[in-house]
Amino acid sequence: MRYEIKGETLPVVICQLEAGEKMITEGGAMSWMSPNMLMETTTNGGLGKAFGRMFSGEKMFQNVYTSQGGNGLIAFASSFPGSIKAFNISPGNEMIFQKSAFLASEASVQLSVHFHKKLGSGLFGGEGFILQKVTGNGIVFAEFDGHLVEYDLQAGQQIVIDTGHLAAMSSTCQMDIQTIKGVKNIAFGGEGLFNTVITGPGRVYLQTMPISNVAGVLRPYLPTGN
């Protein structure tokens, strides 16, 4: 499989498949494709995995696209202004994504639900108790809000993140929460009560424009029901 990511603010990934190659995506993610791409809707692993994907922000059913009778083309566009990034997944090189980040992948990649080890980090970490874990062997495409900034953390090195800006991290990283200190800071600082703390080793991917922040900015301008 060969691919090309085009566009900046509203990107799309265009995949070129050889005969018999397969791509997996959630329903509604396909943007355009060649006529020889065969679609099959499946739970992809049974109802248990389907419910797990639903809890991690994806749909229960996935679509499998297969290139038949020769080379095929299929494209997946982002659903929100931001970034599409490709990750090479292999044993020992798994990734943790924010909820709903999964866009598409090769058929050899598995998507499952990932629970925070500590309840506190799930309840107050900004992206909820449930994230997405990607395992297997192959390429996965994820969509994030705004632009991505990457940091490599050494063992024990930490970075403190404001709510919602965590996009992805290596599965070797640890996530926890940190209470903002000082009554005045909490009451007047405008940063909420908690920050997310990521501890290395591993790579952290931060997004510049979380959709939750966009919703908060727009809320005062939206009409309210009677």
CB 118 within 8 Å of CB 53: no
Q: What are phi and psi of 199, to 5 degrees?
A: -115, 130
Per-residue pLDDT, 218: 67
**For the chain, how big is the Rg over CA atoms in Å?**
19
Confidence of residue 50 (pLDDT cuts 50, 70, 90): very low
End-to-end CA gap in the chain = 53
Most confident of 27-31, 36-40, 214-218: 36-40
What average pLDDT score do residues 48-54 get? 48
Q: Which helix (H) or strand (E) holds 110?
A: strand 109-115
Q: Which residue has the tokens 């739970």?
A: 43
**Average pLDDT of the chain, as a whole number:** 81
CB 126 within 8 Å of CB 120: no
Per-residue pLDDT, 122: 44
Q: pLDDT tens digit string along 169-216?
A: 999 999 887 776 544 444 444 445 677 899 999 999 999 988 766 666
Per-residue pLDDT, 85: 96
Q: pLDDT tens digit string along 124-147?
A: 444 445 788 999 999 999 999 999
Give me the count of residues in the chain.
226
Per-residue pLDDT, 215: 64
What average pLDDT score do residues 46-51 get? 48
Instruction: Tell me the H-state helices in 5-118.
Output: 47-55
If one compares 40 and 130, the residue with the highest pLDDT of the two is: 40
Q: Residue 220: is its pLDDT beyond 90?
A: no
Per-residue pLDDT, 43: 66
Confidence of residue 28 (pLDDT cuts 50, 70, 90): confident
Per-residue pLDDT, 91: 95
Instruction: Tell which residue, 67, 64, 2, has the closest CA to residue 37.
Output: 67
CATH 3.60.160.10 is held by the domain 2-221? yes
Cα torsion for 160, 114, 6, 138, to the nearest 10°?
A: 120
Q: pLDDT tens digit string along 76-128?
A: 999 888 999 999 999 999 999 988 899 999 999 998 877 665 544 444 444 44
